[in-house]
Structure 1
Amino acid sequence: MIEAVGLTKRYGDKTAVYNLSFQVRPGAVTGFLGPNGSGKSTTMRMILGLDNPTAGHVTIGGHPYRRLPNAARHVGALLDAKAVHGGRSARNHLLSLAQLSGIPARRVDEVLGVVGLQDVARRRSKGFSLGMGQRLGIAAALLGDPQVLLFDEPVNGLDPEGIHWVRNLMKALAAEGRTVFVSSHLMSEMALTADHLIVIGRGQLLSDMSVKDFISANSADFARVRTPDTEPQLREKLTSALTEVGGNVLPEQDGALRVTGLPLPRISDIAHDTGVRLWELSPHQASLEEAYMRMTQGAVDYRSTDDRKAGLQQPLPPGAQPPMPVPGQGQPDWYAPPPPQQGGRPFAAPQGAPGQAPAGPYGAQAAPGAGPGGQQAANPYAAQQPPTAPGAPQPPEAPAAAPAQPSGAPAPLPASAPVTDPTKPEDAR
């Protein structure tokens, strides 16, 4: 059993925990809840002797943690799953812990199987995912087969199957008579796992009771009642009848009625006596999350506000459209051709030696399709012609290209001049 009496911890002028007293009994899963900064991690560190309390004391089985003989055989804890030497394998990490506490090596293989890491036991932990790191931390907590276990956010990073496994593991450990103390922010998971709750806010105790009593004490149960939607006069008739006998009736947005102060059988009898048909009569009990939010609403230190974005978004000019994203832009292999120069002329090619193509991105390469001397070479992907037999007529040669124009703008062709194909022997007219 864990027992804290008047625990107080101050860091300079900041009080993290103040006069905190509670008991964690064996045979049940006790949830430890509270907003961020409420002092949960500090409390757990004081339980494990990692922090000295400013005032008060905490014991495990009647003794402070530091006075327990071979404490790892009595208490197992998971506070930080990343507190592992990344260069060690999962098995070597657990083996070093076992050797320090006199635990036989066979126990290492047993807990690796319990947490499902037997297939990656030889891998270095620095390559583990967050969920795998959590499993390794749970294995370290189970290594000494302790009677007291503390877990801080044990399902962080686990997939749904892993969360279900942790839930069943906690229940099984508590069923064996062990003391299980679990801190978590997942209210839905605590509702399925915990039997008892200890809730703190700003370092002080807010609640210490069972889950069922906590929900009942911090929420208002009510009954949902629905009458035929096509007959609104029946809803008004039933509202008047329930109000006369002391019920409190509030309309819901979907047309149903929320009734408090009357049990469900009494509501059914009143509806029958007044001749009102009911389409729905169901009890509603608040969830653990709703009760927790109601309890801790005054102990939350960090609250968000609406993001107004005032003055940050400027209206676009008329007719302007936002730029469209270019697929692949920003990737290492992404390439965009340069824009053409003004006047419609292409970019000037880099100057090189006469008859030598400029160097490409992979070294000195010829331009695509260029042969020796800069002449256009045959297309290497075009269909090859069969070799010409000896004596067969050769195809006519193309006329020589016109001499290059002197530097300056080329003279435009007359509008009436026909366009010919220099590759043909004569102009087809």
Structure 2
Amino acid sequence: MIEAVGLTKRYGDKTAVYNLSFQVRPGAVTGFLGPNGSGKSTTMRMILGLDNPTSGTVTIGGHPYRKLPNAPRQVGALLDAKAVHGGRSARNHLLSLAQLSGIPARRVDEVLGVVGLQDVANKRSKGFSLGMGQRLGIAAALLGDPQVLLFDEPVNGLDPEGILWVRNLMKALAAEGRTVFVSSHLMSEMALTADHLIVIGRGQLLADMSVTDFISANSADFARVRTPDTEPQLREKLSSALTEAGGHVLPEQDGALRVTGLPLPRISDIAHEADVRLWELSPHQASLEEAYMRMTQGAVDYRSTADQKAGLQQPLPPGAQPPMPVPGQGQPGWYAPPPPQQGGQPFTAPQGAPYGGQPPAGPYGAPGAAPAGQPNPYAQPAAPAAPVAAPAAPAQPAAPPAQPAAAAPQAAPAAPAPLTDAEPKSEDAR
């Protein structure tokens, strides 16, 4: 088991990880999610003893990595698949690692067969594709038959068959009782592979819960209702009836209605009472990607201006915002971080956001719900009202949403000056 308590790492005045606490238990695949620059790689390096934490501790089986006897036979890791001498063959690379760790040489051919590189075992690794390099890195992680495995983007560069193979490998390793910790940006793959999620943003814990609970806590389920396209008056009639019954109705681009606040049987009864025929009545549950985007949208450092104009999701109707749980509360090892200390600038959560403290119960009646009268920091901004008169000038893109206090805006790089005849040109420019 991997356990981190109050883990903090600072590089000068930059705080990469702040007061991070979590547990990775055996017998399950634990996904490690977060935006670019959130501190995932730094956390994994501290777990493996490659970086020393500024404060806090992280242990594997109750001991720091550096104090584990013959650590390569207890912990396997893939952090950088390119960390291979290009002049060595795949077999010689693994053989050198085996000799350093006292692992029998016969194990090299075993793991080459597991990852499917037995036919290229004697080829130099500098000629390997990105996917082949990933397979070689996974083979190195499996070399000592360890009980704890860490993988950073293990499916990067793999084809669909390779991705399926990695997914099945992770599940098989966890089914054997091993601890499997996987970092990835592929939400669709994590939804199929992971049993538990640890999500961080700007170095702080955002969520520590199962995949099912994470999706449920960070999304609003709704029903899709569709009436005959040839009778638009029925659509308006049903929309009015659902609104009067306490539902919230939003139009979809394909002509259907998105309804929240009413269960499917009640929607069916209302349509029957209004004498409205239905072509579709189906439930919708958010994907892991939708839930992840809603959770982390306030912790993204690098954002395209097009995202702010188009939006990532349609805004939810008033009163339909999902409750915001206190991340990790109730889970073993949950840790409420104290106020920031001097010497760094950790991420400051928006007011009302559940980073390390439990807000009062809101109108949803659940701990961690948004307090009454306060905005939900994860909610998408409401669509702007239609202007009274057409503006004289073309509309400008919407201003970017306010970032947390400690998140300094990135300065736009200056455009390079064009080359002139008076300036010397490079070989490429000529």
TM-score (norm 1): 0.71
Q: What does residue 194 of structure 1 align with?
A: 194
Deviations 1:303-360 (A, max 9, x none): 223599xxx9xxxxxxxxxxxxxxxxx9xxxxxxxxxxxxxxxxxxxxxxxxxxxxxx
Secondary structure in structure 1 of the residue aligned to 2:298:
coil
Q: What does residue 152 of structure 1 align with?
A: 152
Relative to 1, partners in 2 of residues 1:173 and 1:45: Cα closer, same or farther, differing over 3 Å? same
How far apart, in 1, do the equivalents of 2:18 and 2:87 lie?
40
How far apart, in 2, do the equivalents of 1:153 and 1:101 lie?
25
Q: How far off its partner does 1:233 sit?
A: 1.9
Q: Equivalent residues in 2 for 1:82-93 (5 A)? A: 82-93=82-93
How far apart, in 2, do the equivalents of 1:255 and 1:123 lie?
58
How far apart, in 1, do the equivalents of 2:264 and 2:176 lie?
39
Deviations 1:350-402 (A, max 9, x none): xxxxxxxxxxxxxxxxxxxxxxxxxxxxxxxxxxxxxxxxxxxxxxxxxxxxx
How far apart, in 2, do the equivalents of 1:213 and 1:306 lie?
31
Q: What does residue 289 of structure 1 align with?
A: 289
Q: How far off its partner does 1:243 sit?
A: 1.7
Q: Which has the higher contact order (CA 8 A, sep 6+)?
A: 2
Specify the code of the residue in structure 1 equivalent to 2:290: E
Q: Equivalent residues in 2 for 1:87-166 (5 A)? A: 87-166=87-166
Q: What does residue 276 of structure 2 align with?
A: 276
Secondary structure in structure 1 of the residue aligned to 2:216:
helix
Q: Equivalent residues in 2 for 1:234-313 (5 A)? A: 234-305=234-305
Q: What does residue 40 of structure 1 align with?
A: 40
Specify the code of the residue in structure 2 equivalent to 1:66: R
Deviations 1:60-90 (A, max 9, x none): 0111111111001110000000101111110
Specify the code of the residue in structure 2 equivalent to 1:115: V
How far apart, in 2, do the equivalents of 1:236 and 1:15 lie?
53
What's the C-alpha RMSD, in Å, of the aligned pairs?
1.6
Q: What does residue 170 of structure 2 align with?
A: 170
Secondary structure in structure 2 of the residue aligned to 1:298:
helix
Count of aligned residue pairs for this structure pair: 310
Q: Equivalent residues in 2 for 1:343-382 (5 A)? A: none
Specify the code of the residue in structure 2 equivalent to 1:23: Q
How far apart, in 2, do the equivalents of 1:254 and 1:87 lie?
57
Secondary structure in structure 1 of the residue aligned to 2:8:
strand
How far apart, in 1, do the equivalents of 2:106 and 2:269 lie?
66
Q: How far off its partner does 1:13 sit?
A: 0.7
% identical equivalent positions: 94
Specify the code of the residue in structure 1 equivalent to 2:243: T
Secondary structure in structure 2 of the residue aligned to 1:31:
strand
Unaligned runs of 5+ in 2: 308-396, 398-414, 416-427
Secondary structure in structure 2 of the residue aligned to 1:191:
helix
How far apart, in 1, do the equivalents of 2:94 and 2:56 lie?
34
Deviations 1:11-41 (A, max 9, x none): 0111100000000111111110111110000
Q: How far off its partner does 1:235 sit?
A: 1.4
Secondary structure in structure 2 of the residue aligned to 1:200:
strand
Secondary structure in structure 1 of the residue aligned to 2:305:
coil
How far apart, in 2, do the equivalents of 1:180 and 1:290 lie?
24
How far apart, in 2, do the equivalents of 1:203 and 1:81 lie?
24
Q: How far off its partner does 1:273 sit?
A: 2.3
Deviations 1:245-296 (A, max 9, x none): 2111111122111000111122112212222110001111111111111111
Unaligned runs of 5+ in 1: 313-329, 331-429
TM-score (norm 2): 0.70
Specify the code of the residue in structure 2 equivalent to 1:51: D
Larger-Rg structure: 1
Q: What does residue 57 of structure 1 align with?
A: 57
Secondary structure in structure 2 of the residue aligned to 1:255:
coil
Secondary structure in structure 1 of the residue aligned to 2:230:
coil
